[in-house]
């Protein structure tokens, strides 16, 4: 069986064509170097070197074997480097799921942080709703996901990656645009573009919770799934909307945004979730980066 030590010894002698210089290059003495070459020749059952007291020359077999030996050594060196990089969380492929709204602000910042801290890591990104991300993590299709809470599955772990305030989206020219900030009381009687109860259940429940226990029940005129679609209806003056602060990053023409002041803050949360017990070093590195982006 071929041995990397034997290959390194042969390559050194073949390139130096001198046992003394090859031994010095490998930081060893000549006798063990000669023995390694002899063992390699017995394993291959060919003579690789013509040796005399004055010279060393490659045989035809040696000349043919040298590029293959060098290729094997390079592959071994590359494999060692990649393995160490992966073990340290600096190389490999990280498969990450994300919700559409997280792509407005948090995801781009996370991607840039990953590219800076882990330049040799390939990010494989998949836009998916929270339910599909949970299934993809459990099946191994993705390594982690940026999902909306709660995360109740016993095989998953999660931690908060983002908590952003809610803001009010208004069509340009609306009477409330002149206010610096708004309260729920200011929205009384306004037509509200809301969220679909199943496809956008997190934001639907969050919106309903804002008005729970008050006499300010919203007059919801449309229920949609995607925030950019909701903003389009706001622009069309079908109503106003309560959206996460990142929606302002879309710079939607014809739509103004104002802070929403609440007696008890109800931020829109985004969690990083992964399979419980995962020992993936890339995931560990990702978990260290995410909290710094709050």
**Residue-wise pLDDT tens digits, 140-174:** 999 999 999 999 899 999 999 999 999 999 999 99
pLDDT digits (tens, 9 = 90+) for 41-70: 999 999 999 988 788 999 999 999 999 999
Residue 91 pLDDT: 62
Residue 289 pLDDT: 87
pLDDT digits (tens, 9 = 90+) for 276-287: 999 888 998 899
The correct CATH number of 166-266 out of 3.40.640.10, 3.90.180.10, 3.40.1010.20, 3.40.190.10 is: 3.40.190.10
With a pLDDT cut of 70, the percent of the chain lying above it is 97
Q: How many CB atoms lie within 10 A of CB 207?
A: 21
- Does 35 score more than 70 pLDDT? yes
Q: Is 189 exposed, middle or buried (0-12, 13-18, 19+ CB in 10 A)?
A: exposed
| 186 touches 258 (CB < 8 A) | no
Total-model pTM: 0.72
Domain ranges of the chain: 4-87, 91-161+269-293, 166-266
Degrees to nearest 5, angle at CA 100 with 95 and 106: 75
Among residues 105, 143, 124, 113, the alpha carbon closest in space to that of 289 is found at 113
- Does 90 score more than 80 pLDDT? no
Average pLDDT over the chain reads: 91
**Strand pairing partners for 20?**
none
- Does 15 score more than 80 pLDDT? yes
- Give the pair of three-digit tokens for residue 12: 């050194």
Which CATH number describes the domain made up of 4-87? Answer: 1.10.10.10
User: Would you state the CATH architecture of domain 91-161+269-293?
Assistant: 3-Layer(aba) Sandwich (3.40)
Q: What are phi and psi of 13, to 5 degrees?
A: -65, -40
According to DSSP, residue 267 is labeled: P
Q: How many CB atoms lie within 10 A of CB 115?
A: 12
Which pLDDT band holds residue 232 (cuts at 50, 70, 90)?
A: very high
């Amino acid at each position: 069986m071929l041995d990397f030590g034997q290959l390194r010894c042969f390559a050194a002698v073949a390139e130096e064509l001198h046992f003394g210089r090859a031994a010095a290059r490998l930081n060893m003495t000549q006798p063990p170097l000669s023995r390694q070459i002899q063992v390699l020749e017995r394993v291959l059952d060919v003579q690789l070197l013509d040796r005399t007291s004055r010279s060393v020359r490659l045989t035809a077999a040696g000349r043919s074997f040298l590029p293959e030996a060098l290729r094997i050594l390079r592959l071994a060196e590359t494999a060692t480097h990649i393995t160490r990089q992966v073990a340290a969380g600096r190389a490999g492929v990280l498969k990450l799921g994300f919700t559409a709204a997280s792509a407005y602000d948090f995801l781009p910042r996370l991607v840039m942080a990953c590219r800076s801290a882990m330049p040799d890591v390939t990010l494989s990104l998949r836009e998916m709703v929270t339910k599909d991300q949970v299934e993809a993590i459990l099946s191994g299709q993705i390594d982690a996901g940026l999902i909306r809470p709660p995360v109740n599955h016993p095989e998953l772990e999660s931690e908060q990656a983002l908590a952003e305030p809610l803001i009010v989206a208004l069509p340009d020219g609306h009477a409330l645009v002149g206010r610096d900030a708004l309260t729920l009381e200011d929205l009384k009687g306004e037509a509200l573009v809301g969220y679909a109860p199943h496809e956008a259940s997190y934001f639907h429940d969050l919106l309903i919770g804002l008005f729970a226990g008050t006499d300010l029940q919203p007059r919801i005129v449309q229920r949609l799934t995607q925030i950019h679609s909701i903003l389009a209806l706001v622009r069309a003056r079908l109503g106003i909307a309560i959206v996460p602060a990142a929606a302002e990053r879309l710079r939607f023409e014809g739509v103004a945004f104002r802070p929403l002041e609440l007696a008890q803050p109800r931020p829109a949360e985004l969690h990083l979730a992964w399979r419980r017990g995962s020992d993936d070093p890339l995931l560990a590195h990702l978990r260290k980066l995410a909290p710094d982006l709050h």
